[in-house]
Each structure stands twice: as C-alpha cells, then as structure tokens.
Amino acid sequence: MGFFDRLANFFKGLFSTSMRDLEASNPDAVYQAAIDERVKRAAEMRKAVANLIYLRNTLQERQEEQSKALAKLNAQLPLLVEEGDDEGALLLIEQRTALGTQLQTTQDELAAVQAQVDEAQSGIVRYEQEIGKLKEERERVIASKKTAEARIQVQETLSGLSTSADVQALENVRENVKKLQAEAQLNAELASQSTQSKLDTIEARTAQATAKAELAELKKQMEAKKAQSEQGNIKKNI
C-alpha cells in the first residue's frame, strides 16, 4: 500500500470516528435524519402508487369498453348467422377473437398493476408505522439520555464535594469553633479548680482554727482540774 493510500485510509478512519462521536453525542439529529429519510421515501412511494392507480383506472376503463364491445359482437353474431350472412359472421368472429385476446391482455395487465398497487400501499403503511415507531423510540432514547446525563452530573457533583473549596472552608470553620469551645471549656475548668482550691484553703483554715479552739478548751479544762486538785490537797493538809 502506497503512502497516499495509507493517508487516505487515515483520514477516512478519522472522519468515520468523528462522525460516530458526533452521532453518539446528538441522537436526536440521527433519529430525525432517519425519520426524514423514511418520510421522503414514503412520499416518493405515494407518487409512484398514484401513477399506478392512474394506470389501473385506465386499464379498468379499457376493460369495460372491451367487455361491452365483446358483448355487442356476441349479440350481433347470431343475427348474422340467422340471416345467412356468412361473410359478415366470419368478420364478427375474427373481431371477437381479436377483441377477446385484447381483453385478456388488458385483464392480465390490470391484475399485475393491481398487485403492484397493493404491494406499494402495504409498503407505505409499513413506512408510516416505522416512522411512528422511530418517533416513539427517539423520545424514549432522548429521555433516557437526559436521565443518564442528570445522574452523571449528580454523581460528579457529589464526588467533587469532598475536595471543593467551600467544603474545605466549612471544615476549617467547624474545626476553629471546636477549638474555641475547647479553650472555653479549659478556662471554665481552670476557674472551677481555682474556686475549689480557695474553698479547700478556707476549709483547711477553718478546721485548723476549730482544732486550736478545741485544744485551748482542753488546756483550760485541764488547768481547771489541776487547780481544783491542788486546792483539795491544801485543804487536806490543813
């Protein structure tokens, strides 16, 4: 294969690929083109059938005329035979034979044309049914395509949330709020601990003062008892 053949094949393949991609991305246009083509063919078939129907009608008129002429000859022939006009009778027989042949030919042509009309009409009906089916299929395919595109868009949106800037900013705000809450909690705990420490100190001092008072009272009582004991000894000695 020469260079130019290879180059031609390359561009042919490139064009084919581009065309497939274009068709895949725009199914509505592809369906519409197929529908338009079938509508065009149906219109052409209608014209052809119209011509066939015209020919059929012409053949039907010819058949009626030939049938009437043949019936007229069949009615005249007995009269000539009764009159003994053999020459006239022979002429009518020849005309009747020729007319019968023509009538048969007309009938054969009419049957053939009628078969073509029936077939063409069936073809038109099939084309119209196919056009209707293509239109319904186009609506379904386009609806399915839009649904799939919407689902893909939602999925892409959801998958992109974790890395988007606004979500990261929200995470930063949440983290900062949590840090502030922790700092406030620490301050509260420290304040609580400071108050408790003061209470503990006050309680310890109170307990110490109470103990000192009890000790002083004990000493006082012991001194009182000692004094009484000494007085009792003095009285005994006297």
Tens of pLDDT, residue by residue over 176-207, are: 777 777 777 766 666 666 666 666 677 777 77
Task: Indicate whether 86 and 14 sit together in one domain.
Answer: yes
Task: Indicate whether 137 and 79 sit together in one domain.
Answer: yes
Q: Is pLDDT above 70 for 131?
A: yes
Q: Are 104 and 25 in contact (CB under 8 A)?
A: no
Contacts of 88 (CB under 8 A, 6+ apart): 80
E strand intervals along the chain:
none
Residue 109: pLDDT band (50, 70, 90) is very high
| Count of domains for the chain | 2
CA distance 221 to 215: 10
Tens of pLDDT, residue by residue over 28-80, are: 888 888 888 888 888 888 888 899 999 999 999 999 999 999 999 888 888 88
pLDDT of residue 114: 92
Task: Indicate whether 14 and 70 sit together in one domain.
Answer: yes
Task: Indicate whether 66 and 148 sit together in one domain.
Answer: yes
Q: Is pLDDT above 90 for 138?
A: no
| DSSP 8-class letter at 85 | -
Task: Indicate whether 129 and 186 sit together in one domain.
Answer: no
Place of tokens 């301050």: 187
CA distances from 98 to 4, 70, 115 (A): 68, 10, 26
pLDDT of residue 48: 86
pLDDT of residue 146: 83
Owning domain of residue 111: 3-163
Task: Indicate whether 79 and 101 sit together in one domain.
Answer: yes
CA distance 25 to 20: 9
Sign of CA dihedral 92, 98, 104, 107: negative
CA distances from 120 to 5, 38, 44, 107, 125 (A): 44, 14, 11, 20, 9
pLDDT of residue 15: 38
Task: Indicate whether 117 and 18 sit together in one domain.
Answer: yes
| Pair of tokens at residue 64 | 């009626």
pLDDT of residue 2: 52
CA distance 130 to 141: 16
Q: Which of 163, 188, 218 is the last residue of a domain?
A: 163
Task: Indicate whether 140 and 212 sit together in one domain.
Answer: no
Q: Which of 131, 163, 195 is the last residue of a domain?
A: 163
- What does pTM read for this prediction? 0.47
Task: Indicate whether 86 and 141 sit together in one domain.
Answer: yes
Task: Indicate whether 104 and 26 sit together in one domain.
Answer: yes
Q: Which of 163, 185, 217 is the last residue of a domain?
A: 163
